[in-house]
């Protein structure tokens, strides 16, 4: 078991369930389904194009409860797109980390333990799609960024995660990252 450390730069959740865009919070209280009230909350979720082996819409266990980004990876993508900053809100992130720059490569099953009490399990790379690209394009007034985001963010768009130990994740938290 290798252990690393990072810091929680920001925590965010959706305002409602209609849009994936998130906004900042002081802390997140998570339970076994994720962040209550957030768009991705639930013990179950409908299977989508990522689980082609199930009929679309079949309710399956929700392993995509949280979206995590590394600030360092966001900076690389911002630079590739020629924008001054890539806001985690635009990507629908719930947790922005700093200090672990290769977050997207974190192997499935790694644990992230937050000083405020919550523990989560890394569920693997989040593959970029055009939704956040459109938000970025709109925010920056540059329509060509929608498609360019998908390519630029490949292997740099962070991970999804599910809750192992219900509790709190707070801005400024230290995070122990444990790789089996």
Please count the residues of the chain. 180
Phi, psi of 8 (to 5 degrees): -85, 110
Distance CA 160, CA 67 (A): 5
- Rounded least distance, CB 74 to a copy of itself, Å: 25
CB closer to a copy of itself out of 99 and 124: 124
Burial of residue 91 (CB within 10 Å: 0-12, 13-18, 19+) is: buried
- Rounded least distance, CB 28 to a copy of itself, Å: 17
Beta-carbon count within 10 A of 29 CB: 15
Rule CB under 8 A: which residues touch a copy of itself? 32, 43-44, 53-54, 58, 60-61, 63, 107-109, 111, 113, 119, 121, 123-124, 162-165, 176, 178, 180
- Rounded least distance, CB 165 to a copy of itself, Å: 5
- Rounded least distance, CB 60 to a copy of itself, Å: 5
Query: 3-state DSSP call for residue 146?
Result: helix
CB closer to a copy of itself out of 64 and 87: 64
């Amino acid at each position: 078991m290798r252990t690393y450390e990072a810091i929680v730069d920001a925590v965010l959740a959706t305002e409602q369930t209609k849009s994936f865009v998130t906004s900042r919070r002081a802390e997140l209280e998570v339970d076994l389904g994720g962040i209550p009230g957030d768009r991705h909350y639930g013990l179950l979720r409908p299977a989508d194009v990522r689980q082609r082996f199930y009929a679309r819409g079949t309710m399956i266990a929700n392993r995509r409860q949280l979206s995590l980004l590394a600030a360092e990876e966001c900076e690389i993508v911002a630079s590739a797109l020629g924008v001054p900053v890539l806001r985690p809100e635009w990507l629908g992130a719930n947790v922005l980390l700093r200090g672990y720059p290769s977050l997207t490569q974190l192997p499935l099953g790694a644990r992230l333990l937050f000083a405020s009490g919550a523990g989560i399990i890394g569920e693997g790379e989040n593959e970029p799609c055009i939704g956040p690209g459109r938000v970025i394009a709109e925010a920056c007034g540059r329509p060509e960024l929608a498609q360019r985001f998908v390519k630029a963010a490949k292997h740099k768009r962070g991970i999804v995660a599910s809750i192992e130990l219900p509790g709190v994740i707070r801005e400024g938290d230290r995070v122990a990252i444990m790789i089996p």
